[in-house]
Amino acid sequence: MADPTQGSRRDHLDEDLNEKLVEILKPEFEAAEAMGPDADVSSSAGDGSPYASGAAASGTAGSGTASEAAADEAESAKTDAKPATTDKDFFQALGGWGALLDIGLPWIAFLIVYGASDHNLKLALLVAVVSGAAVALLRLVRKQPLRNVAGGFVGVLISAWVANRSGRAEDVYLPGLLINLGYGLLYLLTVLFRWPLFGVLYGVITQTGTAWRKDPAMLKGFSRATLVFVGLFAIRLVVQVPLYLTGSLNALGIAKVGMGLPLYAVALWLAYAVLRGSLPPDKWDEARDHVTHLLRGNKK
């Protein structure tokens, strides 16, 4: 038979061991409860148990995967997004002051040579055409935009042909007067019919169609900007037509040059300021970015 005394001693010993074990582990449990559930994994990992090590490794791997995914998304967004443009970028995309100079240079050369060569019309026309071609070639070599140069050079060719055919020096300015009249009427009609030309061009180049017409701010802004150029063409005609009709060649030439480059720059600045002032900042930034990227040859 089993000795009752021996069994009692064994039970007493077990109780003592349990109490000692609780006293030893009590600080560990309290610390774990104070740190929260996230500390259990790292604490267990420090104990060196296989389960704890696996859990910690799994957590680390999961964290690494999440970090890599976030990094990939950030890199993708960085690649897809285009850098925000500035007002300076917008003006430079139009060609800057150099583009405006390209427009007026042939006419400056014509006026100087015609006056210095005792009214040699053919020589003056030849110099104007050559100067326009030289500027276009220089732009081509420098890989710079040829939009303004090409348009101006074609205009010089047409004007030279008309003046050479008629034999009248003042007729070199006739195509320009007709162009100003046509552009002025076109711009004005688009505003009157509530389809301002600048808005139409914006819808085409941004591939947004007529969505801009549904926004009152954009419709108002594009209408005002278009009207600025209506004023530009009107001022040119009011000043230059009487000079053409009276045969005042020198005065007409000065007016042509003075109301070309400088007045165009003023009109461009006014249209820019009017459009910017008519649109909320976010819409202005969007419109400017679209146009700037397009003029640079980038896709939006």
- The single-letter DSSP state of residue 85 is P
pLDDT of residue 130: 92
Q: Above 90 in pLDDT, residue 242? A: yes
The helix (run of H) or strand (run of E) holding residue 80 is helix 50-80
- The single-letter DSSP state of residue 171 is G
245 vs 99, 161, 216, CA distance in Å?
A: 30, 20, 43
Question: Which pLDDT tens digit goes with each residue over 216-234?
Answer: 988 999 999 999 999 999 9
pLDDT of residue 196: 95
Q: Above 50 in pLDDT, residue 39? A: no
Mean pLDDT of the chain: 74
Question: Which pLDDT tens digit goes with each residue over 57-83?
Answer: 444 444 445 455 555 555 544 444 445
Question: Which pLDDT tens digit goes with each residue over 275-297?
Answer: 888 888 877 887 777 766 655 65
This prediction's pTM: 0.62
Q: Which sign, positive or negative, has the C-alpha torsion 266, 272, 273, 275?
A: positive
Which residues fall within 8 angstroms of residue 52, CB to CB, at 6 or more apart? 41, 43, 44, 45, 46
